Amino acid sequence: MISLSDFLIVSAGLFCIGLFVTLTKRNAIQILIGIELMLNAAILNLIAFGKYDRFTNSGQTFALFAIVLAAATTAVALAIILNVYKKYKTIDPDKTDQLKD
C-alpha cells in the first residue's frame, strides 16, 4: 500500500509548481492553469486523507465539491479574461494595471 506521506509529497510538489506558474507567467490563461494545479494538489490531499473516512466520505465528497467549484471558477475566470482581452487587447496581467494608485 502507498503511504499517506507519498501522496502528500506529490501534492506538495504539484502545489509549488502551480505556485511558480501562477507567479511567473505573463498570460492569464497560464496563470489560470497554475491555479488549477494548486487546486488539484489540494484535491489530492483531500483524497489521500479521505481514505480514513469510510462512513461519511467527507474527503471524497469535498474533493467532488472542490472539482465542481473549480469548474465554476474557471468559467467565470475565462469570461473575465475574454472581457479583459476585448478591452485591453492583451491578457498579460502586468499590462492591465489601470487600477494602480
Partner 1 sequence: MTMVQAMFYLMGFITLASGLFIAISKNLVRSVFMFFVTLMALAGLYVLALADFIAITQIVVYVGGILVLIVFAFMLSGRETLANLQQQQSKFIRIKKLPAILLAVLFFIVMINVLFKTNFDGLPWIQQAIAQKNTIGTNDAMIGNIGVGLMTHYLLPFEAISILLMMALVGAAHISRKEKGI
Partner 2 sequence: MEDFLQHIDTLTINFALGAVIMPLLAAIVNRCLPANSKPSGWISTLAILVSAVLSIFVFAKVWNQHEVHQQQVWFTIGNTSVYTGILLNNLSVLMLVLVSLVALPVHIYSTAYMKDDDRYGRYFVYLSFFCFSMLALVVVDNLVLFYAFWELVGFSSYLLIGFWYTKPKAIIANKKAFIMNRIGDIGLLTAIAILFASYHTFDIEQLFGANGVVKSAAISSNWQYVACIGLFLAVAAKSAQFPLHTWLPDAMEGPTSISALIHAATMVAAGVFLLGRFYPVFTHDELTILAIIGCFTAFMAATIALTQNDLKRILAYSTISQLGYMVMAMGIGAYSSSLFHLATHAFFKCLLFLVAGIVIHEVQHMKDEYNLHIDPQNILYMGGLRKKMPLTFIASVVGGLALFGFPLTSGYLSKDGILIQSFEWAEGKDWLHKLIPIGALLTSWLTAFYIARLVIKVFFGEFKAAQFDPAIKLHVSDGKWQYRVPLVLLMGCSLFPLFSINPILYEKAWIFNGFSVITALDRVNIYHTILPLLVNLVGVIVMYWAYAIYIKEKALPLPESGFLFRFSYREWYFDKIYQKVIVLPVIALSKFTRWFDRNILDGFIHLLAKIGIGGSKIAEWCDRYLIDGFLHLLASITLGIGNFARRFQNGKVQYYLFSMLAIILAVFIFKILIY
Torsion of CA 45, 49, 50, 56, to 10 degrees: -130
The Cα 45–Cα 26 span in angstroms is: 28
Q: For partner 1, which residue of 31, 65, 93, 98 counts as binding (CB under 8 A)?
A: 65
Q: For partner 1, which residue of 31, 92, 93, 97 counts as binding (CB under 8 A)?
A: 92
The Cα 2–Cα 31 span in angstroms is: 32
Q: One-letter amino acid identity for 18?
A: G
Please give the residues from 4 up to 23 whose contact with partner 2 meets the rule CB under 8 A.
Answer: 19, 22-23
Give the chain's end-to-end CA distance (angstroms, integer): 55
Q: For partner 1, which residue of 31, 42, 83, 99 counts as binding (CB under 8 A)?
A: 83
What residue 48 binds from partner 2, partner 1, none (CB within 5 to 8 A, per partner kind)? partner 1
Q: Is 93 in the site for partner 1 (CB under 8 A)?
A: no
The residues that touch partner 2, with contacts defined as CB under 8 A, are 19, 22-24, 31, 93-94, 96-101
